[in-house]
Structure 1
């Protein structure tokens, strides 16, 4: 029997997910409240404990953007939520300066995000996974929606919202060949890597053969972690291309991630947007930091010197089929070299386990908003990330991280978080103010509209 909350709370805004995007929004809302434009906002996060990509934080993981592209500095460098203030509060500012780097480890950046999120504990419910978002109809007009979530004990809770911001991130992309092995504990997507590897026999020193599938940064980090930390593992890394490709992070190319470039993309017709995105895919997809590529090359070279081969990079390879049996996982692997047929040089390889570093899909907003789908069309958004809806839906719905096709490559990354959060915060306040007289009585908020920041 499912227990339900029968006295739902009502909020101006309910944010789904509390990763970096909605955390940046919470900060922007606090600043907005301090300027006399308060909103009552609450956020729901399915994780029991706050972490950012926690199952991927191997020791070799470093950020691929400057620490100055934190939650606030690009908009408000004097904010107490800056990465620099985080370092100062934790007594590491001088030490970080001595590192002479712009790129903190992902482990430290995760700790920074956790520190920032701790200041909003009263506005975020952890361990609640949103199940659906349903309309409340009043005379044919939808002024509010019900957000139904469920905790780890199966208890359901309903909150009523006057606006919604979805920032649920990507969901693991599983290649077709592995769809039938979703429940096989020997196969993991990279998003669950650390919890998975802790339960593998190689942790106890037992020999294993592991395949890594994928061509990007995540695959590279898994490959080098398996080789460096588990001496009993032999690891094959399979990539479709003929060589590993470095990410282009040169200064002029990096300008496409500037907040102002969002306007450049959005103002194009869709064909123009598509061309701009296609032209710069090598900044983010199926590419690897050049320093890490050099590290991997040196590692493979040292194997040639020692004659001990535990790691192999297999280029021009694609997995066509995967089957699990008592003796391991059999992969049907074909060559993808130019001019080769679709099954050219097909061979079968056996492994004890497989790591899928195959990226993410961004479709979760469609599932959560299914009860409102008839009003939302094909989820097209305006410049301020609001879904263009039918007139009957007066509840503003905003998307963060699902707008790459309209706003550019930076939409799924960290670079535009502060500016985007400010844009959405202002747009929500304006939209709700325009509807206030018709839609609801004034809501109760704290006098300052926000939670005090004690640690900063």
Structure 2
């Protein structure tokens, strides 16, 4: 069934960024629809552990950084939930991850242009430049076609598992994004090994560490990083997650960008000071009286291979500095190996019209448009798929509203939201 009317924009995927786009579009006359195959908004459900928090302040909600008066702000959410005084006495900038997810669900429930349970199958471009978007509704098993002047891809990132282990994933070898789904089975096993160096690895390890006395499993944590290092969280360091740094980074040559990104991992891949402290405190208390702990932590150690043997897994590990290899047995392995951007299959129909760089990545302009071979008035925008062009701030929630403001001003053909040029104290270039 085809719709004759032409929308101003269609959003593919409903994560935090496209959710913010939909909310901020409410101040415009732009017509829009947003589609996601999930049945409801869920933000990393496999990592909604008790006691975990966002790593950014609550101001990094869907709208506040460009429109603090919006009815979709986190503070208004608290007001509607009758939680303002509780939050006032909570006295923390970083909110529980569980509450952030509930806040996003609250925003989503108020936006009628969101279509959950509906998968975008194809994005094609007509001769006049408009996009034809084919979607499949899982509710009524119907396929529909919509036309739009612009499309915004907001599918986010997907869990990354190193190639040698991709064929082995299942109940006992899993990505950390599945942790909560598999947790009960893991707790009842004999041994668990966590692989990775970031916040997800630390949170999974800490959760398993707290429950270890009740279940008695052997617990190990290996990372190929140089240590269990904290994330850079100084105030001037945080200014790298600003529109100013994004602009500076965008102007750098492509090869220079790759070199810079390779040295910035601790800006976004480290562990919070609090989590490291909590882990250490538990280890310290359990070691009173020279008690033996069935726990092992080791850095500078890479997981080389996994081999299944009689219901267990033999892990081959290589320690870089010693250049030594060892093997251990583990009943379960949790790969906290991060997330990678990806190009959704629905874009296959227009791949030849898009420009790609030498590394096979999309060429994305500073205003978040994908560069096309034939430029026109109908654009494809990308959310959180531009770290290679815009830098470390691409996946950061604190820059989501800014990016949406840049996109919306283009969709509306006027300045709907003010874009400030000087936001930080430091200067990034000469």
Same structural fold, with TM-score higher than 0.5 when normalized by the shorter chain: yes
The equivalent of 1:314 in structure 2 is 298
CA contact (8 A) 1:9 1:158 kept: no
Give 1:272-421 correspondences, 5 Å limit: 272-285=256-269, 287-305=270-288, 307-337=291-321, 340-341=322-323, 344=324, 346-365=325-344, 367-378=345-356, 379-391=362-374, 395-421=378-404
The equivalent of 1:88 in structure 2 is 79
Greater mean deviation of Cα atoms: 184-193 or 306-315? 306-315
Cα offset, 1:154, TM superposition:
5.8
The equivalent of 2:229 in structure 1 is 245
Q: Distance in 2 between matches of 1:283 and 1:168?
A: 23
Q: Distance in 2 between matches of 1:208 and 1:146?
A: 49
Q: Distance in 1 between matches of 2:276 and 2:94?
A: 17
The equivalent of 1:79 in structure 2 is 70
The equivalent of 1:175 in structure 2 is 162
Q: Indicate whether 1:123 and 2:110 are aligned.
A: no
Cα offset, 1:213, TM superposition:
0.8
5+ residue gaps, structure 1: 432-456
CA contact (8 A) 1:147 1:161 kept: no
2:49 match: secondary structure: coil
Cα offset, 1:12, TM superposition:
2.0
Q: Indicate whether 1:227 and 2:209 are aligned.
A: yes
Q: Distance in 2 between matches of 1:9 and 1:192?
A: 40
Task: Tell me: CA distance 1:290–1:392, structure 2 relative to 1, closer, same or farther (3 Å).
Answer: closer
Greater mean deviation of Cα atoms: 304-313 or 49-58? 304-313
The equivalent of 1:135 in structure 2 is 125
Cα offset, 1:162, TM superposition:
2.1
Task: Provide the TM-score with structure 2 as the length reference.
Answer: 0.88
5+ residue gaps, structure 2: 357-361, 415-430
Task: Tell me: CA distance 1:80–1:384, structure 2 relative to 1, closer, same or farther (3 Å).
Answer: same
Equivalent residues, number: 406
1:410 match: secondary structure: coil
CA contact (8 A) 2:120 2:133 kept: no
Q: Distance in 2 between matches of 1:150 and 1:330?
A: 44
Cα offset, 1:272, TM superposition:
4.3
Q: Deviations over 1:270-321 (max 9, x none)?
A: 3443454344331102x10011111111222223226242332122221111
CA contact (8 A) 1:240 1:315 kept: yes
Cα offset, 1:163, TM superposition:
1.2
Please give the root-mean-square deviation of Cα atoms over the aligned residues, in Å: 2.2
CA contact (8 A) 2:312 2:331 kept: yes
2:219 match: secondary structure: strand
Q: Distance in 1 between matches of 2:194 and 2:203?
A: 10
Q: Indicate whether 1:28 and 2:19 are aligned.
A: no
The equivalent of 1:187 in structure 2 is 173
